[in-house]
Structure formats: C-alpha cells, structure tokens
Amino acid sequence: MTEAMVAQGLAAVSAGCLAAGIARAAPGGVGRPSRKVPPGVLVYAVGIAMAVSAPVPTVPAVAIAVLLTGVLRRFAKRRSAARRRRAIDREIPLLLDLLAAGSAAGLSAVTGFERAVPALRGPLGVELRRSIDAVGLGARWREELAAVGERLDLPDLRRTVAVVTRTETLGSSLGRATSELAADVRGKRRAAVAERARSAPVKMLFPLVFLILPAFLLLTVVPVLLTTVRSIR
C-alpha cells in the first residue's frame, strides 16, 4: 500500500513538472492556425496522462496531478510576466536616448517615437509599436502613450510619458528633458545595483554559518576529535 502511494505521488509530481515545462516553453501558445490545441489544455492533458500511467492509477492521483499542474502553470506564467517586465524596464533608458537624439535632429515627439520604436528590439518596442499603429489609425497619441504607461505600470515609463506629454504641451525642449531623465534613471539604477552588492555579504552569512561551516567542521575537526578520543582510550 505504501509503495503504491509513493508511486502515485511520484507520478503526480513528474506529471506536474513536465506540464510546467511545457507551459514554460509555450506560455502564450504559438501563433499558428486557430485549430491548434490550446497550450493550457495540452498541459493538463499531459498531467492527467502521466498520472493515469502510474502503477496503480486512482482518482486521487489524477486529481493531485491536475492540481499540481495548474499551480505550476500559474507560477510559470508569473515568472514569465516578471521577466517581461524586467526586459521592458531595461529598455527605457535606450528609449530616452533615442527620443533625445530625435529631438536634437528637429523631430517632434510623435515623429521621434515613430523613429525610435523600430530601434527597440525587445517587448517595449512591441508595446509602443501597437500604440504607434493605433495613432496611425486615428487614435490620440497622448491617450495611447498614457494607456501604455498604465498597462505596464512601470514608474520610469510613466515618467517618460509624462515628460513627453509635458514638453509637447508647453513647447519646451524634449531633448534636454529626456536626456536629464535618462541620466536620472541610470543614476538610480546604478545606486540600486550598488546597494544590492553591499547587501550580498549579509545574505551570504546564512548559508555560510548554517551550511558551509558545519560541513567544514564535520570534514576537518570531527575526524581529529574522534582520533584523539580513540588514542586516549
């Protein structure tokens, strides 16, 4: 009975891990034909199939596999969304530099965005390209940029949108404003990296004291003590 339960548990765990791997590899599906099986259905199907293939398949094993698959799939989606947000955030200084260069060349804010977006190869370029396409179809560019800032919810991107909107409204220099903002953003990020670097030794104390040091003592001090005790006897 115990062996059967262990086998079922291992089957459920392996099913969930495999399904999470599939979800991680294709979190949004492949943009191919509409008849393609949705990735969520495929993930759950794999989990159920592996649970059923256990030595003693039962309803609890299938239920555990489905539950574990769903949890791991949501976790993979959150990880993917977090990575995407970090990739977008990394591109903001480059966007500011491109806007400053476009302003120095005499381009307006809208034209500067239209020239800068194709140079962005990451997800920020994809998001802004949608807004530029919407502006080309008749939407208001300020509303589109504000919608991008609200949707992505990144402080530096919101500041970029606010600076561009303010300079366009007041007629001030976009190049100077974006250059100053780019310098400020890079300065804050360098300070954050330096702060994380300073906190690294403190975070290393736990594994050093509770993992590395005990293992070192077991390998060096304990054998010497055992040898000494035996020699005394």
pLDDT given for residue 37 in this prediction: 44
DSSP string, 84-114: HHHHHHHHHHHHHHHHHHHHHTT--HHHHHH
Domain residues of the chain, as ranges? 2-81, 84-197
Report d(CA 60, CA 5) in Å as an integer.
10
pLDDT given for residue 184 in this prediction: 92
Report d(CA 80, CA 186) in Å as an integer.
25
Q: Taking residues 52-78, report their average pLDDT.
A: 68
Nearest partner of 98 among 74, 80, 124, judged by Cα: 124
Contact yes or no for 90/51 (Cβ under 8 A): no
Q: Which positions ≥6 away from 52 have C-beta within 8 Å?
A: 61, 62
**209-218 long-range Cβ contacts below 8 angstroms, 24+ apart:** none
- Least confident span in 62-76, 89-103, 170-184: 62-76
Structure tokens at 22: 């599939």
DSSP 8-class letter at 56: S
Q: Count other C-beta atoms under 10 Å from residue 129's C-beta.
A: 15
Report d(CA 56, CA 134) in Å as an integer.
56
pLDDT given for residue 190 in this prediction: 92
Contact yes or no for 177/163 (Cβ under 8 A): yes
Q: 139-186: per-residue pLDDT in tens? A: 888 888 888 888 888 999 999 888 888 887 777 788 888 888 899 999
Length of the chain in residues, anyone? 233
- Least confident span in 2-6, 99-103, 129-133: 2-6
- Least confident span in 11-20, 99-108, 112-121, 183-192: 11-20
Q: Is the pLDDT of residue 138 over 80?
A: yes
CB neighbour burial string for 131-147, b if at least 16 within 10 angstroms, e if fewer: bbebbeeeeebbebbbb
H-assigned helices in the chain: 2-25, 39-52, 59-104, 109-116, 123-136, 141-152, 155-170, 174-203, 205-207, 213-232
From the number of C-beta atoms within 10 Å of its C-beta (0-12, 13-18, 19+), residue 39 rates as: middle
Q: Is the pLDDT of residue 203 over 70?
A: yes
Who wins on pLDDT, 56 or 120?
Answer: 120
Q: 2-52: per-residue pLDDT in tens? A: 556 555 555 555 555 555 555 555 444 433 444 444 555 555 555 555 555
